């Protein structure tokens, strides 16, 4: 998936991947996609829950490659 921005949250533990993602999405233009790379397995459920409860963002996909979890979040509105 093509991303407009990438956030490296590897090495961070809960809740920091979500906190960093929230800050990064605040700077996105509507329609932009943020790729978030994390090593915390909890980021899968944490980012899904955050996106479900946050207006203006949409979780597009989550993938796992070894110890790295990649999440794709789109800014849908301001």
Spatial contact of 9 and 37, defined as CB atoms under 8 Å apart: yes
**For 11, left (φ over 0), alpha (ψ -120 to 50), or beta?**
left
Spatial contact of 43 and 73, defined as CB atoms under 8 Å apart: no
Catalytic residue among 3, 12, 14, 60: 14
Tell me, yes or no, if 14 is annotated catalytic. yes
Active site residues: 14
């Amino acid at each position: 998936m093509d991303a407009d921005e990438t956030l490296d949250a590897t090495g961070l533990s809960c809740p920091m991947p979500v906190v960093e993602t929230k800050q990064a999405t605040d700077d996105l233009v509507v329609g932009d996609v943020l790729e978030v790379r994390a090593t915390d397995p909890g980021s899968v459920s944490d980012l899904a829950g955050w996106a479900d409860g946050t207006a203006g963002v949409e979780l597009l996909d989550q993938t796992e490659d070894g110890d790295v979890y990649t999440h794709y979040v789109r800014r849908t509105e301001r």
